[in-house]
Chains A and B, each alone.
Chain A
């Protein structure tokens, strides 16, 4: 009743092939965009931006990127942390080498750089499959982190070995550095997330997305019906790398401001993003958002409940957090292995039939 496709007539090809063909979806999408762009920037404060909104936006970009690789193209990758580090360091180098260029360009260039690196590490996927590939991508994770730790050129020979973002502005508004206002960093990340999600959604609906899915479902059969596995796999790595690079660049420049590579982009980051993708739902753009929101909010909620409400010591709460996150992941996988996106699909089905049960 609330959600229906019936009566939504298309009279032209443009209407039929628009990003959200169903009217309800489209209006929901406009509503969410309107709130995100027109309401949130005016009510945002530093705590909300730094604890919840910025990590959510940035992880959502990374999750979309990884979802393209794992959920759509079926190539399991555990190298996300390393690729985010490439984005961060590329962004840093571009920022310091070309200070006069706009931040938008830096972030996009960082994404492009990561795409190239990702394709290089994606090459073995043509030979190696399944778990062997997953473990092979760990090579990227460890090698890249080591590289950024050991080669001083990457961190501009700074004494601490860290990189810290210089102050940069877009149209006169501070975006990076300690003096950037919360709404500006929020808007900057939001613009990238919106663009990435739009691009991802349209890529996955088109020829290239279908070739990814064909490769995922059965690569040999796909090859026989004429999908080029080389092209499909490497484009998946490239697009995924581009998004992950953007998120790494934002994570460093806008969110953290200064990073130490082993700490910020270690293997736990790879697992975290993979969890987001799996809990959100493999092969679903909405799922990437849901997974990112869930895993960003969970520790915040647990901390608030444990420390502020129950008044336990922080170290015990931190350990409990591990236990609860671990248990929740297992429960999730048992109850709903297709993730939050599947719950949303079920909800839509219910809304469509409401008030009838069947």
Chain B
């Protein structure tokens, strides 16, 4: 087989993997948007916050140590213990649930019935707030996150595929972490589908997504469902945070993955979970292939905008996205 084709295939596969990571973030958006009509810009910062909390708990960091030291003149940084990854993840989930409850209690409850743009702006405010809080709580330096996921390229795949091309071709380079992420994402989606199809709370969640008033009238507590949805979104954010944090370290830029997820949402439709997955894959493959073929011609770094332009062109032909609910307009 010609090398060029093999390289393209490698780019394609890596694009798929990147797409899965985008989809993980997009999933959190879709959950909240479906259940409450809120376009939650803070999803990316939630991933950052979750990852930082996880690292902080694992390393036994003292929360807000910077402020405490600045105000009282003390020098405390660590409790001096290390928490095993599994326990730390459970604790972090607890923190995210608490955060969901606070958001519902203090913010979203007071904004019921406002226009979508106001709700959207509120979540941007939330994003600023959370970003500041996570920096204050855990410090803003770059941290390493290691919960025991495999990293680096997979030698097995490289060896297996090395024979396909000429001697210049060394086999496909595929990151172990990306494969783990794919499996985790698949499990997560299956879990979410099972949860929303077969459990009482999941069904209530779907009922709320369908029609707030009707759900309220059959005795579903909207407040509880919204806390639930924000908690689930917090959990998804944690998973995304672990994957991205392991890949590139826990730092501010982690919150920018929200911007990567937006075109995915546009493409897949704001209201569709399969849409988030398919959209993620299309965007992932599309931007990697574009960077591979066209990028060198125009100076590179096309990944920043290509996804948006692709989604924009796509929307012109299908304004509700691939799997979104058809927009019906009445006067």
Cβ–Cβ contact B262 & A146, under 8 A: no
- Is B329 among interface residues, defined by CB-CB distance under 8 A? yes
Contacts of A278 in B (CB 8 A): 117-118, 121
**Does B132 belong to the interface (CB within 8 Å)?**
yes
User: From residue 314 to 344 of chain A, which have CB atoms closer than 8 A to chain B?
Assistant: 315-316, 319-330, 333-334, 337
**B308 close to A326 (CB less than 8 A):** no
Q: Which of B300, B305, B311 has the most CB of A within 10 A?
A: B305
Least CB distance, B102 to chain A, in whole angstroms: 12
Closest to B310 in A: A139
**Interface residues contributed by chain A, number (CB under 8 Å):** 50
Other-chain residue from B117, B125, B302, B329 in contact with A326 (beta carbon distance below 8 A)? B125
Q: Is the CB of B309 within 8 A of A139?
A: yes
For A138, what are the chain B residues with a Cβ–Cβ distance below 8 Å? 259, 262-263, 308
Task: Give chain B nearest CB distance to A118 CB in angstroms.
Answer: 15
| Minimum distance in angstroms from A61 CB to a CB of chain B | 21
Q: Are B70 and A326 in contact (CB under 8 A)?
A: no
Scan residues 255-300 of chain B and give those whose CB is less than 8 A from a CB of chain A. Answer: 259, 262-263, 265-266, 270, 298-300
Which of A131, A136, A221 is within 8 Å of B116, CB to CB?
A: A131
Secondary structure at chain B's binding surface: helix, strand, loop or mixed?
helix
* Nearest CB of chain A from residue B273's CB, rounded to whole Å: 17
CA distance A135 to B315 in the complex (A): 11
Contact partners of B22 in chain A: CB under 8 A: none
Residue of chain A at shortest CB distance from B134: A319
A274 within 8 A of B: yes
Q: Is B66 an interface residue (CB 8 A)?
A: yes
> B315 contacts which of A127, A145, A150 (Cβ < 8 Å)?
A127
Residues B304 and A326 in contact, CB atoms below 8 Å apart: no
The chain B residue with its CB closest to the CB of A328 is: B125
- B331 at interface (Cβ–Cβ under 8 A)? yes
In the docked arrangement, what's the CA distance between A134 and B262, Å?
10
Report which A residues bind B (CB closer than 8 A).
Answer: 70, 76, 124, 127-132, 134-136, 138-139, 142-143, 145-146, 149-151, 218, 220-221, 224, 267, 271, 274-275, 278, 282, 312-313, 315-316, 319-330, 333-334, 337
Can you list 15 residue pairs at the A/B interface with Cβ under 8 Å? A127-B316, A128-B315, A131-B120, A136-B266, A136-B315, A138-B262, A143-B308, A145-B304, A145-B305, A220-B331, A278-B117, A326-B128, A326-B130, A330-B126, A333-B118
